[in-house]
Amino acid sequence: MKIVVNGACGHMGRALIAAAESKDIEIAAKVDKYGDTPFKEISEYKGCADAVVDFSHHTAAPALCAYAEERGLPLVIATTGHTEEEAECIRKAAQTVPVFYSANMSLGIALLIDLAKKAAAVFPDADIEIVEVHHNRKLDAPSGTAKMILDGILEVYPDRYGNFGRAGMGQREKKEIGVQSVRMGNVVGVHEVHICTGTQCLTLKHEAQSRDLFAEGALEAASFLLGKKSGLYVMKDLI
């Protein structure tokens, strides 16, 4: 498999390249707008590839999608923070080429979401809280992964809603799902789901111990897309 890496000079881009090289996956091109790479924009690369993997910035989505559609290439998008307009570009591209889109490339997180949905269904009257912890350099809050977990639970209980960063006076509403964000140190990523009935509490936890797991997940996603028909794929498609 030959891949184009967009965002090649970032933390995750470098981890992806290292993981690819350890698996004898060929890097067809390294693209980074701000780094020391042969290509600054994805459109500059005209060579052959089997897939494009993006670990850059959400604003790159329109150009990435246009490139993938034009070249007929599978696209893995592993960035977060997309605007609705950018998300629409991704959905449109998925009508033409296979697109794998996830805010978190960890199979463990996909399993956590699946378990959280099942647990929430078993305890319909429980209070549910989501807590996420990341390093002090992370810009967005809550994390894209926390939103994924929330969306999964809302599939079970569509009448509930997320309460982000609770503050001030007032009793907890029964239908709210609290989402709390913590930023400190060099934490790679911790996500917890607390489900409490009043007589018992269940806690589901996933802790990322290395960014390598996200790189490995992105490579698995790229391999998964090979030969797939157009469509929008997510992590639960891998479990």
Query: Please, how many CA atoms are within 13 Å of residue 193, restricted to the half-sphere of its CB?
Result: 26
Instruction: Spot the catalytic one: 33, 58, 138, 236.
Output: 138
In this predicted structure, what is the pLDDT of residue 134? 96
Q: Determine whether 191 is an active site residue.
A: no
Q: Determine whether 134 is an active site residue.
A: yes
Select from 86, 85, 93 the least CA-distant residue to 76.
Answer: 93
CATH number of 2-105+212-238: 3.40.50.720
Integer Cα distance of 221 and 11 in angstroms: 19
Integer Cα distance of 193 and 149 in angstroms: 8
Ranges under pLDDT 70 in the chain: none
Instruction: Spot the catalytic one: 30, 82, 117, 134.
Output: 134
In this predicted structure, what is the pLDDT of residue 1? 95
16 touches 55 (CB < 8 A) = yes
Integer Cα distance of 185 and 200 in angstroms: 32
Q: Does domain 107-208 have CATH number 3.30.360.10?
A: yes
221 touches 100 (CB < 8 A) = yes
73 touches 93 (CB < 8 A) = no
Q: Where are the domains of the chain?
A: 2-105+212-238, 107-208
